[in-house]
Amino acid sequence: MRPKGEPWNLVEKIAFAAFLIWTAAGLIFTIGRISPDTVAHWPIPNWLGQFVDLCLRTGDPILILLAFANTHLHAARQWSAGIARRWGLIVLVCAFGIETFGAITGFPFGDYHYTDRFGPMLGVVPLTIPLAWHVVVT
């Protein structure tokens, strides 16, 4: 366990900055109702339009990954790296099991299904969904 008040290391600073920047960009794009169709009409170089389009299409999974990274780093700071890893593994495995069972049976959350909007799928659950559970319960 680290002493209280110890400065953030470089990885923590970069992860938090990336999360803030990505969240701010998402807020701007949401408020501005910016979509891939909107970007296609902007007078910008083709490569930049393709990059913005990629960011729009992958925004949700990237946000979840950045939130997970920050939550996990915070857990490691508050507890220890080993405890944070064990806790993370327990949460991820349980969340994946609950979500798989729920998506297949409709219990306990009701009838629902996932698409690949949240990233690559493992069976019927996107890989990012257990990461989101980690963010919520840690």
What φ, ψ does residue 27 adopt, rounded to 5°?
A: -65, -45
Give the pLDDT confidence of 11-44 residue by residue, as tens digits.
999 999 999 999 999 999 999 998 888 888 889 9
Residue in the structure block whose two tokens are 């629902």: 112
C-alpha 72 chain-centroid distance? 12
Q: What is the pTM of this model?
A: 0.88
Listed in sequence order, the residues at least 6 apart from 103 whose beta carbon sits closer than 8 Å to its beta carbon are 112, 113, 114, 124, 125
Cα–Cα distance for residue pair 102/108, rounded to 1 Å: 6
Per-residue pLDDT at 114: 95
Give the pLDDT confidence of 37-67 residue by residue, as tens digits.
888 888 999 888 888 888 888 999 999 999 9
End-to-end Cα distance, the chain? 17
Is the per-residue pLDDT at 3 higher than 80?
Answer: no
Triad 77, 82, 87: Cα angle to 5°? 85
Per-residue pLDDT at 36: 83
Give the pLDDT confidence of 72-125 residue by residue, as tens digits.
999 999 999 999 999 999 999 999 999 999 999 999 999 999 999 999 999 999
